[in-house]
Amino acid sequence: MNDADFLAQCMRYQDGVLSTEETSMLECAMRADPAKRRLFAETQCHAMALHDRFRQEAFHSGADFNSPMEQRRSTGIGRPIAAMAAGLVIGLFCASIVWAIALPKATTERLFSLLNGNFDESHIASGFPREFGLWSGDEAAIANGRLCFNRPGSDSSDPGARAISCDVFQLVDLRPLRHTLSQTGDSVLELGANVCDARPYNTNPSVTFFCQLYLFQGDSAALHERWPQCIANTLASGSAQVTTLGNESATWRSITAKCLVSADADFAVVQISARPNLRPAKLEGLFADDVKLSLKTQPALPVRTILR
């Protein structure tokens, strides 16, 4: 299979129209040729970037995502990306591997404005944060240099709402990065965290840890009055999660959320959460640590045109 045919098959894979036999042929080609593995990774990564840009433009233009046409377009773009992330191409790629292959020459700039990511300080403020660089949220504590989730809480904008998860937030000022974001290429913001379920193995209910990232334009001062309703106004967002049922060895697991970021973004909301999947439930033995926010910039991926 030459490069032109292979790229055409990659595009058909993104559209979700490959047969089982064609998918097997695509897998075999990637197993045999490292260059084709890289080409596949580039096309998938570029598709994700375009999808996020379309989403940003839709929010700017006030598009109605409830219309049947928009639903069909959204489904058509999202289905192959979700399939890739789920490992449809068996044994070769998952989302994290694709990013690692597609961004080998990316430069990384750590955001030092994410304060106390290792939870060395002892204070977690109550409610949604109102200033940059402060961990704040539901009932949580810091012990032995790690965040302990204690109790789910309702949102500050709706205190009477049902509390389903224990959420901790931090506001991050992105404006000092404008000089980096304005350069040619794609910039990806990554939020990573280590989480641990130290309960005995096979303990019910299961618990889902979330690592979420939301980018906004404008003033952050009044965001606490509209959270979480204002999530609909995000420029971009990213989310990662893992579900656990206890862990006899109390080992830590890493999760990473990613989103494309542009120079229009003024600030980000970082959110780390633990949610019991049966309520009401007491939270105990649930921890987070080593929360990091980083910016990765890479040259714009090439767009290849095939004439047949």
DSSP 123: -
Is 87 in the same domain as 114?
A: no
pLDDT confidence of residue 111: 64
Domain interval for residue 51: 3-102
Is 132 in the same domain as 181?
A: yes
Q: CA-to-CA distance for 161 and 153, rounded, in angstroms? A: 9
**Number of structural domains, the chain?**
2
Is 284 in the same domain as 244?
A: yes
Is 9 in the same domain as 119?
A: no
Domain annotation covers residue 245: yes
Is 114 in the same domain as 184?
A: yes
pLDDT confidence of residue 169: 97
Is 275 in the same domain as 135?
A: yes
Is 95 in the same domain as 123?
A: no
Domain annotation covers residue 303: no
Domain annotation covers residue 307: no
The answer to whether 237 and 188 have CB atoms below 8 angstroms apart is no
Q: CA-to-CA distance for 106 and 217, rounded, in angstroms? A: 25
Domain annotation covers residue 149: yes
Domain annotation covers residue 47: yes
Where is the domain boundary, 68, 102, 136? 102
Is 201 in the same domain as 259?
A: yes
Q: CA-to-CA distance for 130 and 107, rounded, in angstroms? A: 31
Residues constituting the chain: 308
31 phi and psi angles, rounded to 5 deg: -65, -35
pLDDT confidence of residue 19: 77
Domain annotation covers residue 308: no
pLDDT confidence of residue 10: 79
Is 145 in the same domain as 255?
A: yes
Where is the domain boundary, 86, 102, 118? 102
Instruction: List, run by run, the mean pLDDT of 10-residue segments along the chain (308 residues).
Output: 75 72 84 83 66 48 42 39 39 37 50 76 88 93 93 81 91 86 74 94 93 95 91 94 88 93 92 91 91 80 47
pLDDT confidence of residue 9: 78
SS (H, E, C) 107-173: EEEECCCCCCCCCCCCCCEECCCCCECCCEECEEEEECCEEEEEECCCCCCCCCCCCCCEEEEEEEE
Domain annotation covers residue 79: yes
Is 244 in the same domain as 163?
A: yes
Is 56 in the same domain as 202?
A: no
Q: Cα dihedral angle (40, 41, 47, 48), rounded to 10 degrees?
A: 150
Domain annotation covers residue 304: no
Is 67 in the same domain as 139?
A: no
CA angle at 1 for the pair 24 and 27, rounded to the nearest 5°: 25
The domain that holds 190 is classified in CATH as 2.60.120.260
Where is the domain boundary, 36, 69, 102? 102
